[in-house]
Structure 1
Amino acid sequence: MIGGHVIVGYADDLGGRDALALGSAITRLTGGELTIASIYPPGSPGLAVEAQAGLAHAAEELGPAPAEFLTFESRGTGRGLSVLASRIRADLIVVGSASGGQHGRIAIGATSDHLLHRSSKAVMLTPAGFKQPGELDRLTLAYVHRPQCDEAVERVAQAALRLGVPLRLITLDLRVDDPGRLRDDLALAVRLAWETTGIEAEAEVAEGHDVDAAMRTLEWLPGELLVCAASEDAEPHRVFLGELAMKVLRASERPVAVLPRGFS
């Protein structure tokens, strides 16, 4: 289950503070380790000092919660977080929404784009300004009938069982597929969750003319987390988010976790 060691990509801005709050909330739930990292470019001693100062602000924001604070030199923030996560054996990278995006939604910037297409660790993003509740209310998995999603059903069901929260499986009916087949596929996924963990998952088909419209038909609990599996095009043990899943992520009003291919 993700969350045994969480690394937060921190910058002293709204997105960084959102990521800090989410990463801290996740480790409170899982009892995992928390590392706060600030990445700066090579050959920039002034920016290195700024990164260190930013981490001091992060420590003030975080309060007494135990955490390690690291600065790391890299040509890109996403690349730096990926390398650092591997070095410290973190299993989840948390980042905030890019600046300039819509409040309450996830905006993809250069850092998150790199992570969503190359990370070897699970990646979690939080909508801009999202207020983290004290508890996790439910795990929801965006499901399509693919081997990657079947694998994710088992993994997310195990996480829900361990955390003691309900599991919901959703699929989107964008009026381009057979609705009966979509419901049959979802029923098989519910059965898979039951057979592997004993959890009786909720199942919902969201209908709409596009992803955003379909997502708006779903009700979301305050402390809900959406999970997406990597695309079939992903390299083994890498994140690669496909076009449809990227649209789901951008339409989400809750934090989204993306699992690497072959995640265990």
Structure 2
Amino acid sequence: MIGEHVIVGYVSDSGGRDALALGAAITRVTGGELTVASIYPPGSPGLAVEAQANLAHAAEDLGDAYAEFISFESRGVGRGLGVLASRIRADLIVVGSAAGGPHGRIALGSTADHLLHLSPEAVMVAPSGHRPQDAPSRLSLAYVHRPQCDEAVERVAQAALRLGVPLRLVTLDLRTEDRGKLSDDLALAVRLAWESTGIEAEAEVSEGHDVAAAMDALEWLPGELLVCAAGEDAQPHRVFLGELAMKVLRASSRPVAVLPRGYA
């Protein structure tokens, strides 16, 4: 289950604080380790000092919660977080939304965009202004009938079972495919969740003229988390979010976790 070791990409702005709060909430639930990282470019002593100052602010925000704080040199923040996550064996990278995006939605900056196309570990992005609950209320998986999503059904079902929360499998009907086929595919995914873990997943097909409308038609619980599988073009053990899943992420009002291809 993701969350055994969480690394938060921290910057001293609202997105960084959202990511920090979400990462800390996840580790409180999973009992996992929390690492807070500030990335700075090489050959920049002033920015290295600023990175340390950012971590001091993060420590103040966390209060009594325990975390390890690391400043790390890299030519790119997303690349640095990916390298660092591999080195410390973190299984989830948490980042916030870019400044200037709509409140309550996910806005991707360069860091999140890099991670969502190349990260070796699962990536979670917090919506702007998101305040996590004490515990997750439900896990939802955006389901499309393909091998990566079938893998994700088993993994997310295991996570829901361990956390003691419901699992929902969601398919978006954009009026481009036969609704009966979508429902049949979803029924097979529900069966897969049951056969692999014994959990009875909810299933929902949401219709809309586009992704945003279909996402808005769904009911979202406070504390809910949305999971997406990597796209078909993802390299093994890498995250790569396809065009449709990217639209789902941008339309989500809840944190979104993206699993690498072949995640185990």
Question: For the superposition of Structure 1 and Structure 2, which TM-score range results when normalised by the shorter chain?
Answer: over 0.9
2:11 aligns to what SS in structure 1? coil
Superposed, 1:103-122 pairs within 5 Å as 103-122=103-122
- Which residue type is aligned with residue 163 of structure 1? L
Q: Which runs of 5+ in 1 are unaligned?
A: none
Q: How far apart are 1:131 and its partner, in Å?
A: 1.1
1:234 maps to a residue whose letter is A
1:100 CA drift (Å)? 1.1
Uncovered stretches (5+) of structure 2, i.e. residues with no partner: none
Q: Does 1:140 find its partner at 2:137?
A: no
Partner of 1:125: 125
Whole-angstrom distance in 2 between the partners of 1:98 and 1:89: 26
Residue type at the aligned position of 1:20: L
Query: Which contiguous aligned blocks of 4+ residues in structure 1 show a shift greater than 6 angstroms?
Result: none
Distance 2:221 2:100 in 1: 26
SS at match of 1:191: helix
| Structure 1 match to 2:262 | 262
Match in the other structure for 2:98: 98
CA–CA separation in structure 2 for the residues paired with 1:132 and 1:30: 14
Residue of structure 1 in register with 2:230 after alignment: 230
Cα distance in 2, alignment partners of residues 43 and 19 from structure 1: 27
- Write out per-residue CA displacement over residues 229-251 of structure 1, whole angstroms, 9 at most, x where no aligned residue: 00011000000000000000000
SS in 2 for 1:192: helix
1:80 aligns with 2:73: no
Q: Deviations over 1:16-51 (max 9, x none)?
A: 000000000000010000000000011111111111
SS of the counterpart of 2:263?
coil
Partner of 2:43: 43
- Provide, for residues 113-136 of structure 1, a one-character-per-residue CA deviation record: whole Å limited to 9, x for no partner: 100000000000000001111111
| 1:5 and 2:10 correspond | no
Cα distance in 1 for residues equivalent to 2:226 and 2:137: 11
The two structures, once aligned, show a CA RMSD in angstroms of 0.4
CA distance in 1, matches of 2:133, 2:7: 20
Check if 1:63 corresponds to 2:63. Answer: yes
Check if 1:149 corresponds to 2:149.
yes
Question: What does the per-residue CA deviation read over 1:50-78, in whole Å, with 9 as the maximum and x for residues that have no partner?
Answer: 11001001000001111000000001000
TM-score by length of structure 1 reads: 1.00
> Which amino acid is 2:51 matched to?
A
Using structure 2 for the length normalisation, give the TM-score. Answer: 1.00
Give the SS at the match of 2:124: strand
Spell out, residue by residue over 1:72-121, the C-alpha distance to the aligned partner (whole angstroms, 9 max, x if none).
00010000000000110000000000111111010111100100000000
Range that drifts further, 140-149 or 130-139: 130-139
Residue 260 of structure 1: CA displacement?
Answer: 0.0
Q: What residue number does 1:15 align with?
A: 15
Paired AA for residue 26 in structure 2: I
Partner-residue secondary structure (3-state), 1:158: helix
Letter in 1 for 2:13: D
The alpha-carbon deviation at position 254 of structure 1 amounts to 0.1
Corresponding position of 1:161: 161
| 1:60 counterpart SS class | helix
Cα separation, 1, equivalents of 2:141 and 2:105: 18
SS at match of 1:123: strand
For the residue of structure 2 that corresponds to 1:26, the secondary structure is helix
What is the DSSP-based 3-state SS (H/G/I as helix, E as strand, rest coil) of the residue aligned with 1:139?
strand
The alignment-based identity, stated in percent, is 81
Taking the aligned partners of 2:63 and 2:171, their CA distance within structure 1 comes to 39
Quote the residue 1:178 is aligned against. 178
CA distance in 2, matches of 1:233, 1:57: 39
